[in-house]
Chains A and B, each alone.
Chain A
């Protein structure tokens, strides 16, 4: 069980790097959707016999992260008629290197944390930190509003992984709350993308600088 869990987490980490390294936004959305599906499987692996809350969490995560949110974003992409992240603030290769650095840092950092014995052998904590950091990198380096939405999605995936740690201590209600927030957030962003597109005839968030004051 533990090995399978760790294998999944490693795939998730690789997907992080992939999402950093491609400029086609549609591919990034698909990768993140796949990541969401994998994340949905993880709660089922945490216990020998998954109970009702785990099943619900898995189902909701797969449906929302794997299907609904990527669907909304693909539609927004089609409406706004963008294909590529043309001018990221940092090039694709440097951002992959940054992502790799962040992953290493996360591994080092989580080694220095005091862990409960049950989590000793898993990659959950480093994977969570690495995914959160990658989310931040996407958020800070990409210009298109839709890429930023992808960044938030990756960020939330990281938080979701972290939430798995607390599956015993903290009720899943909290995680559900986060998911709902995100769901609403994506909707808002999809709407904003449309409006930015109409108002500034571009979906580059750079243009928002003119709203500074």
Chain B
């Protein structure tokens, strides 16, 4: 079977995975098991198809006519699609297995079938987005993806905050899609077809710039670049955890894919495009991780950290675009390779962390970090997996986050190279921004790990906590192992990265910027094998240190009964006196208050014996809570007059239709010659 045929059949299996459950009784567990089985089979088939697409002789594209007057059913698997398809086929399948333990359909009778159906559709439509080579098919798949994600994320729609987050997501995604409509319309007007093929030469430089800006905004809504991220924290926090994992780990990357795909189709890249993406990425990264530090809600913190990672990917892409604009193949290669590797890495470790947060919520029933604590003793597996994910996301060796960011660092440092073209020295500043992001990420995840797993329990929530069952452990373990594998053997990914970069840097055609022979290799620019050795050494060191402390603790008498970890010398410390995650983040929130604008509600303490008082601090989202909500409230007040049209009576609505029909009849006759 050809590679494209196999891919399409895998997509069909994914799309239909939720159907059997709809035919079975709502309370039956069989439907969900069948769905997980179908997702797994589809995932394996799809991965095989992706592997096959790299083979020498296999059809990787297919073009059929269809009933619609425009476009065609045109699909293809090229290295770029294949790279992203790996995520799409792996993460949702793992998530559906996880869902068997975490979100049992039996326990969610009213909406279990709905989640199963939309979850499979989400995975299938993301794969369709990746293989579409026609703007119309792309938009259809994009919309199916957006809607099925909405249905999946609002699965627990009996809770008001879930519904609210769902609406914000729905509005944001449609605004983004609208921008994409404009972009593809412009593309069609300039190139004369909806086909997504490298025809960038037909675009004037102004049109190419417009396409780039529209792509950045339209796909930026999905990816979550900073002013466009409004839907992201709420939707990720309120979705079931395996859906959050798929949304954050995979769906955000569809926005990144869109930007890479469209810039790959444009042949003339102007330097300002790279600078714009670099700036957007830096702002997104720094602001995203700053907000993550201030969140009490575990999943909101993870969501803001997703925004940060999108920022890192954006910066790397900015480097790659700048490289293409000024003819530096090495910058383009390092930037794109770094971005792509980080796409994979973030897909793996963020899914791991979200699945972890699900295990924590499952065990304790709360997402509030300040109510948790001391879970490491009760949930050792979860603690270990979370620590793996945290180290990876903070960009520390020996895990995979380091490998990806290291490539990007190498690229930024090359801007300081004496042979670099004039005027790009400022790009080295981006390395500073990346370093700042990395440092803040370490602080953020030390805070989360410490708050959730260390110390002693801060409330009764963690009283009966225990590690989850096998169905949840298995996906978490696999993801953790994958993070470790890429961290220790990053050089294995280099051939993939190079083949994608080759196709992206050189849109085929006469105006190709670089010749294939001039394309450098990653191994020459940035020896990834060293990263592996370094990581292995550090891992070994960590194991030795751990064993040593374990042994010394067993021999010595550290850890007498009655002394908590953070008891500060008090004779009878209680959990309420414990340092909370919020206290840990306090100093950083204060330092970053020029970005965060935290609000505090509480009395000033006066005198020696103040009365009982309450204190509360909040960290509202700057765009959503400070700009958009007041704006919409104003709009609702201003447009109050129009609302009287909405009477709720079907009869009146039909009358409106009749009125319009009559007006059309009367005015339509005008201009007809007798």
Contact = CB atoms under 8 A, between A and B. Distances in A.
B665 interface: yes
B669 A113 contact: yes
Interface in A105-148: 109, 112-114, 136, 139-143, 148
Contacts of B657: 136
A199 interface: no
A213 to B, nearest CB: 8
Interface stretch (A23-31, A64-72, A202-210): A202-210
Interface in A75-129: 89, 109, 112-114
Contact of B655 (A140, A148, A208): A140
A209 B646 CA distance: 10
B648 interface: yes
Contacts of B655: 136, 140
B646 A109 contact: no
B21 to A, nearest CB: 23
Interface residues of B, number: 15
Contacts of B665: 109
Contact of B651 (A109, A205, A210, A212): A205
Contacts of B647: 209, 212
Q: On chain A, which size bracket covers the interface?
A: 10 to 19
A141 B672 contact: no
A211 B648 contact: yes
A211 B657 CA distance: 20
A119 to B, nearest CB: 15
A209 B649 contact: yes
Interface string B639-674: 000000011111110110110000001000100101
Contact of A136 (B646, B652, B654, B672): B654
B669 A205 contact: no
B650 A136 contact: no
A140 B658 contact: yes
Contact of B672 (A114, A205, A208, A210): A114
A143 B650 CA distance: 9
A205 B649 contact: yes
A114 B649 contact: no
A80 to B, nearest CB: 17
Given A109-B665, A114-B672, A114-B674, A139 B654 contact: yes
B649 A206 contact: yes
A141 B651 CA distance: 7
Contacts, number: 36
Contacts of B654: 136, 139-140
B671 to A, nearest CB: 12
A112 B651 contact: no
Nearest to A139: B654
Contacts of A205: 649-651
Contact of A148 (B646, B650, B652, B672): B650
A212 B657 CA distance: 18
Contacts of A208: 648-650
A112 B649 contact: no
Interface string A178-213: 000000000000000000000000000110111110
Contacts of B652: 140
Nearest to A129: B665
A205 B41 CA distance: 48
Contacts of A210: 648
Interface string A47-58: 000000000000
Contacts of B669: 112-113
A136 B658 contact: yes
A208 B650 CA distance: 8
A156 to B, nearest CB: 14
Contacts of A89: 651
Contacts of B650: 148, 205, 208
A142 B650 CA distance: 10
A114 B674 CA distance: 6
Given A136-B655, A205-B650, 11 more contacts: A112-B669, A136-B658, A139-B654, A140-B654, A140-B658, A148-B650, A205-B651, A209-B648, A209-B649, A210-B648, A211-B648
Pairs A-B, 4 closest by C-beta atoms: A212-B648, A209-B648, A139-B654, A140-B651
8 contacts: A136-B657, A136-B658, A140-B654, A140-B655, A205-B649, A206-B649, A208-B649, A209-B647
